[in-house]
Structure 1
Amino acid sequence: MAYSKKGNDKIYYNWIDAKNSSKNETLILIHGVGHDLHSWDFIIPYLEKNFNILMYDLRGHGNSDRGNYEVDIKLLSEDLNFIIEACHIQSFHIIAQGFGGFVGLKLATQHNKKLKSMTLMGVPIHYPKKIGQTVVHNRNKMVQSQSFLSMAEQLIKQICYPLTGKKELILLNSYSKVSPDVYFQLFSTHYLEAGADALKKLKIPILLLSGAEDPIYPPELSSASLNFNSNARYYTVPDASFMIQMDQPQLTAQWMTEFIIKQTIHTKDDATAFNDLYRKQLTSELYSGIREMIENDKMPSNMEVNQSTVESFTDRERHILFLLKQGLTNKEIGQRLFLSEGTIKFYTHNIFSKLQVRNRTQALIKVRELDILPNI
């Protein structure tokens, strides 16, 4: 592990060259609050074939020094910029988990030319402020009445699905290196509004991921972040909680790789750029309609979904739509298709996201309007 010295403080990082020497895209991995760069250990083997990788310990985490400063988003984004310059990185993709997403979003507002895409995993951008304040209060109270590691032990049981000895060891070790004051300087609702504003301004492709089994930041909240940016795409990762990269490393790496490759293989001409602009404008109008629908608690009967959305449904998704139409529950669909109930949840979340609806009833209305199941 190497480090760069910023003033008197050491920021530790690890650089991994892509195993395929013909690949030159670089990923920057930003871990969540309380964690360290080892939270990426499970997923690295599935990413290093196709990408150069930079992962590092946030200030006051892992082996990185805290310094004589109050640790906040601005300071952490400056640290990341310092490392990028020290490593002479000319372009990169950010992959951030949890709180690390706010660091990435802050940096994105300053590095639009270098940043090519952003993947946010379990980043609580669209989180009710009062509930968030309650969560922060309860964790602080637990630390005061017991200890910081006791709080960490309880939290780890929730953020992994399932929790294994190896995951627990990595996470407990990372929490043991973070002081409570640094943790609670960062674990705060203060950054939610700024994160949402930064997300709105991004002009790059964005991938949002959430764990289907995440009890703290469930998929319904994560998918709501789509309202902030029409460039965003959202997927629910089955059989995963908050620590998506630990629970489903291979599947998550596959989706991220496909997303990044799709964004980098095309050289756009003027016609393509025009079509992209048109799609962004159309999507923006659709999301505006969805917000009105939520406020009025009704579905607009004349909402249009473009043809590419209809064509994006896989055979499996069409089959599940057919079974939904028959009135089967997720458990019954899983039994019919020999899939777990969690996997069916994953498919239905993606179906709802593509149709831009909130529940089965709205989905079936939209399916009938779009004639998605004409041959079944």
Structure 2
Amino acid sequence: MQLTINRIDTRYVLDNEGGGPWLTFIHQLGGDHSVWDQMAGYFRERFTVLRYDLRGHGDTTVSTDAFSIDDLADDLAELLDRVGAPSTHVVGLSIGGMIAQTFAANHADRVDSLTVVGAPAFIPDDARPTFAQRAAHAREHGTTSLADATLERWMTPDFRKAHPEVVEQIGETIARTPAEGFARAAEAVSRFDMRDKLRNIDARTLVIAGEHDSGTPPAASKVIADTVPGARFETLDAAHLSPVEQSQRFSALLDSFLRNPI
């Protein structure tokens, strides 16, 4: 399904077999909504599950202007308005976790709970050039050239060896991401900093980190849990894509969090 959100033609997928509370999943940089396929299948009997493609990813058009993570959070707010969701549980992975934090701070009345996966509270000054370099590389060489190195960071060697079909699918998604869409999102990531806002988040919060995530080490994610009042912190035996690599444990952890509001 397609809607024009803040002048961007946006692809979204709605699974509402259960007709229950809204549950929104936000994907990673260089990904699309399909990374959440397994989670949608697990939760759609009890929740109204919303997935969508970020600007310049999947089947959502590329923004002609630069944007920030705040702009991407506003995209989500507009999408929720358009599909009739007054509030939602929000689960974000990587850049999706940055958007989820920002959404919880900027649109607090729309958040039933917050789950941040494989995302930091901020991008350190010494790491910002890395994202600028990835943006420049994508523009010059295309996103296919980024796939192999990205897959090595995103999944552990054992998982890549045992599940080549999953690795291939995710690699194809990276390669299909428009270079300019990837680049503009990477530049938005480079400017991300939530440190001044985290203490104001009052939504129930779960933070999940991959024990082997070299891009966003657990310590970087734990800053969120240590700052948001009452937040819970968990680690999984995975690299960056813990919902894929440890799908059963991830779904059980998220299910327990959603079922137990206290």
Same fold (TM over 0.5): yes
The answer to whether the 8 A contact 2:62-2:178 is kept is no
Q: Give the drift of 1:121.
A: 0.2
1:63 aligns with 2:59: yes
Query: Residue in 1 aligned with 2:257?
Result: 259
Question: Gaps (5+ residues) in structure 2?
Answer: none
| SS in structure 2 of the partner of residue 250 of structure 1 | helix
Greater relative contact order (Cα < 8 A, sep 6+): 2
**Counterpart AA for 1:224:** V
How far apart are residue 102 of structure 1 and its match? 2.1
Q: 1:128 to 1:76 in 2, by over 3 A?
A: closer
Would you say the 8 A contact 2:135–2:184 is kept in 1? no
Q: Deviation above 4 Å: which 4+ runs of structure 1?
A: 140-147
Deviation at residue 60 of structure 1 after TM alignment: 1.0
Partner of 1:17: 16
Alignment partners' CA distance in 2, 1:25 and 1:141: 41
Question: Which of 76, 86, 89 is the matching residue for 2:85?
Answer: 89
**Alpha-carbon distance in 2 for matches of 1:205, 1:198:** 15
| Secondary structure of the structure 2 residue equivalent to 1:54 | strand
Q: Which residue of 2 aligns with 1:48?
A: 44
In 2, the alpha carbon distance for the partners of 1:192 and 1:172 equals 25
Give secondary structure in 2 for the equivalent of 1:151.
helix
Q: Does 1:115 align with 2:97?
A: no
1:199 aligned residue: 198
Alignment-derived partner of residue 152 in structure 1: 147
CA positional deviation for 1:215: 1.9
Q: Say whether residues 1:135 and 2:130 are aligned partners.
A: yes
- Give 1:96-245 correspondences, 5 Å limit: 96-130=92-126, 132-136=127-131, 139-140=134-135, 143=138, 147-161=142-156, 162-163=159-160, 164-188=163-187, 190-193=190-193, 195-238=194-237, 240-245=238-243
The aligned length equals 257
d(CA) in 2 for partners of 1:258, 1:3: 32
The aligned residue for residue 31 of structure 2 is 35
Matches of 2:213 and 2:122, distance apart in 1: 15
User: Per the alignment, do residues 141 and 232 of structure 1 end up closer, same or farther by CA in structure 2, a change over 3 Å counting?
Assistant: same
Displacement of 1:140: 5.0
Which letter maps to 2:212? E
Shift of 1:201: 1.3
Q: Distance in 2 between matches of 1:143 and 1:58?
A: 17
Letter in 2 for 1:108: A
The code of the aligned residue for 1:74 comes to D
- Partners of 2:139 and 2:180 within 8 A in 1: no
Cα deviation, residue 91, structure 1: 2.2
Contact 2:63–2:181 (Cα < 8 Å) also in 1: no
- Name the SS for the 2:197 alignment partner: helix
Judged with a 3 Å threshold, the aligned counterparts in structure 2 of structure 1 residues 112 and 251 are, in CA distance, closer, same or farther, namely same
| Higher Rg | 1
CA distance in 2 between counterparts of 1:54 and 1:98 reads 17
Normalization by structure 1: what TM-score?
Answer: 0.63
What is the percent sequence identity of the aligned residues? 20
Distance 1:133 1:78 in 2: 23
**Cα contact 1:35–1:171 (8 A) shared by 2:** yes
> Cα distance, 1:178 vs. partner?
2.5
CA distance in 2, matches of 1:30, 1:7: 17
Q: Which is strand-richer, 1 or 2?
A: 2
What are the residue-to-residue correspondences of 1:222-371 with 2, within 5 Å? 222-238=221-237, 240-263=238-261
Unpaired runs of at least 5, structure 1: 267-376
Q: In structure 2, what is the Cα distance between the partners aligned to 1:59 and 1:74?
A: 13
Q: Deviations over 1:24-47 (max 9, x none)?
A: 221111111111001112332222
